[in-house]
């Protein structure tokens, strides 16, 4: 159960209004409504009756709020004793591939955080190798690794060897991203052969074990651009450049004047996994971010 959502529900019960509670908490109304619904889904009961006069507690809701107020009061007492008077402390850090849906989930996540919290939040877009390094040596609590299924065993062996745990998140197919002015944009379908005259704006976000020389030499022309924004700017301004990307949202395509196409020769479903060190327990804020990420997937 998410303690932050519990605080939100108590404030809604106190004010009888999502709008008033959102003002008091400095949380956007849609985010607050979503948090309450997720809490109800987690509990398996309805806490509020939503009426024209406001939010009215159900019988289950009355029992929950009484218990929640008691729990939150005890937590506040503990924080006063051991937290040097600081009511809320947030420590969150993530290393992940450059991906629209991950960055959008992170933006939504930050919008749900209590405004009076003392926080230290880090979000790093990094290659798979750097993410492994960041999480292994404590630079980040959480990491997201993207890989092709043929590397499943080697990745699991490496994670185990580094003392890391992992949880499957989702799978997605890579697509070709190109300028709307590119000749590729008007093709009904695209093959690897069609891409040969063009330059790939590449990045090393995928987990790939050591490649043979033959595998490294397969690409004809490449520009390595690690930063996602720089890569999109490059593609949008140059019709002869394309990229292979997972999870690009329509809003990003529109912003940079891009289109996405399916490569008929690439049917691989690439997998994303969450990684963290053995012995590291996920905090409520970690779980909140994962919830935002799962919600973002439903909107793509």
pLDDT digits (tens, 9 = 90+) for 256-299: 999 999 999 888 899 999 999 887 788 888 999 999 998 887 65
Which pLDDT score, from 0 to 100, does residue 216 have? 44
Contact 12, 33 (CB under 8 A): no
Please tell me the distance from the alpha carbon of residue 102 to that of residue 96, in angstroms, as a whole number: 8
Please tell me the distance from the alpha carbon of residue 289 to that of residue 91, in angstroms, as a whole number: 12
Please tell me the distance from the alpha carbon of residue 146 to that of residue 274, in angstroms, as a whole number: 9
Q: Find how far residue 190's CA is from the centre of its chain.
A: 29
Q: Which residue matches tokens 């503990």? A: 78
Q: How many CB atoms lie within 10 A of CB 91?
A: 13
Dihedral sign (CA 106, 109, 115, 120): negative
Q: What's the DSSP call for residue 2?
A: -
Percent of the chain residues topping a pLDDT of 70:
91
User: Which of 290, 40, 43, 35 has the alpha carbon at shortest distance from 167?
Assistant: 290
Tokens of 88: 């809320």
What domains does the chain contain, in order, with CATH numbers? 3-82 (1.10.10.10), 89-170+271-298 (3.40.190.10), 175-267 (3.40.190.10)
Contact 127, 203 (CB under 8 A): yes
Q: Which residue matches tokens 């704006």? A: 201
CA dihedral 251, 297, 92, 206 (to 10 degrees): -80
pLDDT digits (tens, 9 = 90+) for 112-169: 988 877 788 999 998 898 999 889 877 788 999 999 999 999 999 999 888 889 999 9
Please tell me the distance from the alpha carbon of residue 192 to that of residue 189, in angstroms, as a whole number: 10
Q: Which helix (H) or strand (E) holds 30?
A: helix 29-43
Comparison of pLDDT for 79 and 294, the residue scoring more: 294
pLDDT digits (tens, 9 = 90+) for 180-216: 999 999 998 899 999 999 999 988 788 877 544 334 4
Q: What is the mean pLDDT of residues 169-178?
A: 91
How far is CA 37 from each of CA 11, 42, 176, rounded to the nearest angstrom? 14, 9, 36
User: Which residues face 89 on adjacent strands?
Assistant: 118
Please tell me the distance from the alpha carbon of residue 175 to that of residue 267, in angstroms, as a whole number: 10
Please tell me the distance from the alpha carbon of residue 284 to that of residue 297, in angstroms, as a whole number: 20
């Amino acid at each position: 159960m998410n303690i932050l959502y519990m605080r939100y529900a108590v404030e809604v019960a106190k004010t009888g209004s999502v709008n008033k509670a959102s003002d008091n908490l400095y949380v956007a109304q849609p985010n607050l409504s979503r948090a309450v619904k997720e809490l109800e889904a987690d509990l398996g009961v309805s806490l509020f009756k939503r009426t024209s006069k406001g939010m009215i507690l159900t019988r289950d809701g009355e029992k929950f709020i009484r218990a929640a107020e008691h729990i939150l009061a005890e937590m506040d007492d503990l924080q006063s004793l051991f937290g040097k008077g600081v009511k809320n402390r947030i420590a969150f850090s993530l290393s992940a591939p450059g991906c629209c849906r991950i960055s959008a989930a992170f933006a939504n996540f930050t919008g749900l955080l209590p405004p009076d919290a003392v926080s230290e939040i880090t979000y790093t877009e990094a290659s798979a190798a750097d993410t492994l390094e960041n999480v292994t040596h404590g630079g980040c609590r959480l990491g997201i690794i993207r890989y092709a299924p043929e590397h499943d065993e080697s990745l699991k062996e490496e994670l185990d060897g580094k003392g890391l745990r992992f949880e499957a998140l989702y799978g997605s197919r890579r697509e070709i991203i190109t300028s709307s002015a590119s000749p590729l944009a008007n093709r009904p379908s695209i093959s690897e052969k069609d891409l040969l005259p063009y330059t790939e704006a590449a990045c090393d976000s995928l987990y790939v074990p050591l490649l043979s020389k033959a595998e490294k030499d397969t690409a004809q022309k490449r520009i390595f651009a690690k930063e996602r924004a720089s890569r999109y700017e490059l593609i949008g301004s140059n019709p002869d450049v394309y990229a292979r990307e997972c999870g690009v949202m329509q809003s990003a395509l529109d912003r940079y004047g891009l289109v996405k196409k399916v490569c008929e020769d690439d049917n691989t479903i690439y997998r994303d996994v969450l990684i963290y060190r053995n012995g590291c327990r996920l905090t409520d804020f970690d779980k909140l971010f994962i919830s935002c990420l799962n919600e973002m997937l439903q909107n793509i």
